[in-house]
Amino acid sequence: MTTPAELLELSPVMPVVVLDDVAHAVPVAEALLRGGIRVIEVTLRTPAALASIERIATAVPELVVGAGTVTAPEHAKQAVDAGSRFIVTPGSTDALLDAVAATGLPFLPGVSTVGEAMRAAERGCSVLKFFPAEAAGGAAYLKSIYGPLPGLRFCPTGGITVSSAADYLALPNVGCVGGSWLTPKDVLAAGDWQRVEELAAATTTLR
């Protein structure tokens, strides 16, 4: 099983994907894989999400598929049952992290402040999602907290683009960044898998 630290090493950019149509799941996953991506976070924001994770886990096992936007304790078991290999939460509450930890899957708890990061570290979580990255202080914020919290590593997500990703990836406490720009809604609606592959390929040398 992949550790949280290893999850951050799979690809410089972890695609954060919103799937409205389960039929898009496998073509999107295959396009990301062709573009050189090894990991995908499917957000539990749509009715198609869990079935999409299931299809990707079965049909594209080379891609490590996880469940994102896990905001309620009951999502944790649903994510496991669908075949998720990791879990990402946008924020952290005790009840949510208890449920997610109980799955035994690697997970990235979401934090946006120093205090939240320290609370997560107290629970034994040293690999975290920093969300919403741009709105919460961006790369400058993460750079500032490396001094007092050098043992923590982050996957910043939220408002990051192909242009701003490199600033984050240059930081010693950032392993990868998350972003939805590899799978824009209009590109998925048009079934333009070639475009998804191109957007993915443009990220593989960012680190």
Residues that bind ligand 3PG (CB under 6 A): 16, 43, 68-69, 90, 131, 157-160, 178-180
Q: Is 185 a catalytic residue?
A: no
Host H or E run for residue 14: strand 13-17
CA–CA separation, 80 and 62 (whole Å): 18
CA–CA separation, 30 and 132 (whole Å): 28
Q: Which of 30, 41, 54, 197 is catalytic?
A: 41
In the complex, the smallest distance separating the C-beta of residue 182 from ligand 3PG, rounded to whole angstroms, is 9
The answer to whether 163 and 123 have CB atoms below 8 angstroms apart is no
The answer to whether 132 and 113 have CB atoms below 8 angstroms apart is no
Q: Is 62 a catalytic residue?
A: no
In the complex, the smallest distance separating the C-beta of residue 65 from ligand 3PG, rounded to whole angstroms, is 15
Q: Which of 129, 185, 197, 198 is catalytic?
A: 129
Complex with ligand 3PG: residue 118 or 162, whichever CB lies closer: 162
The answer to whether 86 and 106 have CB atoms below 8 angstroms apart is yes
Complex with ligand 3PG: residue 46 or 180, whichever CB lies closer: 180
The tokens of 109 are what? Answer: 């708890």
Complex with ligand 3PG: residue 17 or 25, whichever CB lies closer: 17
Which residues are part of the catalytic machinery? 41, 129
